[in-house]
């Protein structure tokens, strides 16, 4: 248990975390991986190099400090991160090691002694927060369809666009696949020839449940971040097996009498399409709208399926940044507040948002401009982010 004095000490570090949080967490990851390189089999290397993972951890520390009096307030955050932890294989035995290196990073970067009240308070806080994660993840491991990573066999590979390929997979052992919630993802462990460490990536399940297979639809990325997607596109064939963890994630559609609006940026359509299909089956009379923003028609994947989905009362609008590259499209240019006003339903709606982080930040800002309250905006990150800070821009 945290004492009141320790809670006050934690709260006093909030300005320090705002200014130096990312410095502390970057140092934490550097020293952790230097001493324990085996953990690089678990963590995303690219997110370390770009600083995305350290920034996400710094944000987590900041949120813990802000809500230290009522840690139950961060339960949605805990749930989201715990899903990711379970999907990549984080276990209870990892937490003491992480705590040791995190406190050491605080000492070294904030120039504090080991017995300083700040270090003692954060040590106590980390113990409490770690226990919350361990208990949450224990339940998730118990409820998962299988433990750890299991071989899934590719039974079909389909080109969806110039950038996106779908992989249909079934259990290599022949057992039925467990159900999943539309919007969830699976983690693929890529063992790429020539790479020292394995790479784990999350891919949304892009078709509805109860098909007898899982489907992931993968965009080929460029540069270092594309090492796994390029390997999938170029080297994985029908008959190949992929180690994968059971479906995870809390980005799921909620039953409601209100209209549902799905806003996708590029390949962000993947979890939304699963939601859209299942909602059409479960609540066929619910008004639903898809707004899909893409660079051009050549790169937009799964368009035939979104067109087939769009029958009354379900509407589909394609926003194309470069309309010269496509004969399709309901709006041209980047997504704007005016575009949203044009396509959004008049009555209050629940909005589901997915795509690159910059797209979602801008879209969240545009939704605020059009009067959509924050509690009606639901979103999923492709990466380690945990919360959106809406960018109040005129367009994306």
**Element at 275 (helix H, strand E):** helix 269-282
Distance CA 49, CA 76 (A): 27
Residues 236/154, Cβ–Cβ less than 8 Å: yes
Say how many CA atoms lie within 13 Å of 24 toward its Cβ: 28
Backbone dihedral region for residue 371 (phi beyond 0: left; psi -120 to 50: alpha; all else: beta): left
- Rounded Cα distance between 267 and 163, Å, is 9
**C-alpha angle with apex 363: 214 to 380, nearest 5 degrees?**
30
β-strand pairing of 164-171 with 150-159: antiparallel
Complete DSSP assignment for 4-43: HHHHHHHHHTHHHHHHHHHHHHHHHHHHHHHH-GGGGGTS
Residue 308, number of CB atoms within 10 A of its CB: 10
User: CB within 8 A of 374, min separation 6: which ones?
Assistant: 368
* Catalytic positions, written as ranges: 95, 137
Please give the full DSSP string across 202-251, using - where no structure is assigned.
EEEB-S-SSSSSEEEEEEPPPSGGGHHHHHHHHH--TT-EEEEPPPB-S-
Query: Alpha-carbon torsion 127, 128, 132, 133, what sign?
Result: negative
Please choose, from the candidates 126, 121, 15, 59, the residue with its C-alpha nearest in 3D space to the C-alpha of residue 112. Answer: 121
CB 165 within 8 A of CB 216: no
């Amino acid at each position: 248990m945290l004492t009141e004095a320790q809670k006050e000490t934690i709260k006093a570090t909030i300005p320090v975390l705002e200014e130096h949080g990312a410095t502390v967490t970057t140092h934490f990851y550097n020293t952790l991986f230097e001493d324990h390189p085996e953990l690089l089999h678990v963590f995303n290397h690219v997110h370390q190099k770009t600083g995305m993972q350290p920034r996400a951890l710094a944000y987590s520390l900041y949120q813990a400090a802000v809500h230290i009096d009522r840690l139950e307030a961060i339960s949605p955050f805990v749930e989201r991160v715990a899903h990711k932890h379970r999907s990549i294989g984080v276990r209870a035995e990892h937490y003491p090691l992480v705590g040791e290196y995190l406190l050491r990073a605080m000492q070294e970067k904030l120039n504090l002694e080991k017995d300083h009240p700040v270090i003692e308070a954060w040590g106590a806080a980390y113990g409490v927060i770690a226990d919350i994660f361990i208990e949450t993840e224990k339940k998730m491991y118990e409820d998962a369809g299988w433990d750890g990573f299991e071989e899934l066999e590719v039974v079909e590979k389909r080109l969806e666009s110039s950038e996106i390929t779908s992989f249909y997979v079934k259990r290599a052992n022949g057992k039925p696949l467990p159900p999943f919630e539309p919007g969830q993802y699976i983690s693929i462990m890529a063992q790429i020839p020539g790479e020292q460490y394995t790479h784990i990536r999350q891919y949304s399940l892009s078709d509805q449940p109860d098909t007898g297979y899982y489907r992931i639809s993968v965009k080929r990325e460029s540069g270092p971040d594309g090492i796994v997607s390029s390997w999938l596109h170029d080297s994985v064939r029908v008959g190949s097996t992929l180690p994968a963890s059971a479906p995870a994630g809390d980005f799921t559609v909620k039953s409601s009498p209100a209209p549902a609006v799905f806003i996708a940026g590029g390949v962000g359509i993947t979890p939304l399409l699963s939601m859209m299909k299942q909602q059409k089956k479960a609540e066929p009379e619910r008004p639903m709208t898809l707004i899909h923003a893409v660079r051009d028609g050549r790169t937009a994947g799964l368009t035939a399926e979104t067109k087939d989905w769009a029958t009354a009362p379900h509407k589909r609008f394609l926003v194309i940044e470069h309309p010269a590259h496509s004969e399709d499209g309901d709006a041209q240019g980047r997504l704007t507040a005016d575009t949203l006003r044009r396509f959004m339903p008049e009555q209050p709606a629940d909005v589901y948002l997915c795509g690159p982080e910059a797209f979602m930040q801008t879209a969240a800002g545009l939704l605020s401009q059009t009067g959509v309250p924050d509690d009606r905006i639901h979103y999923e990150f492709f990466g380690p982010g945990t919360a959106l800070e809406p960018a109040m821009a005129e367009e994306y």
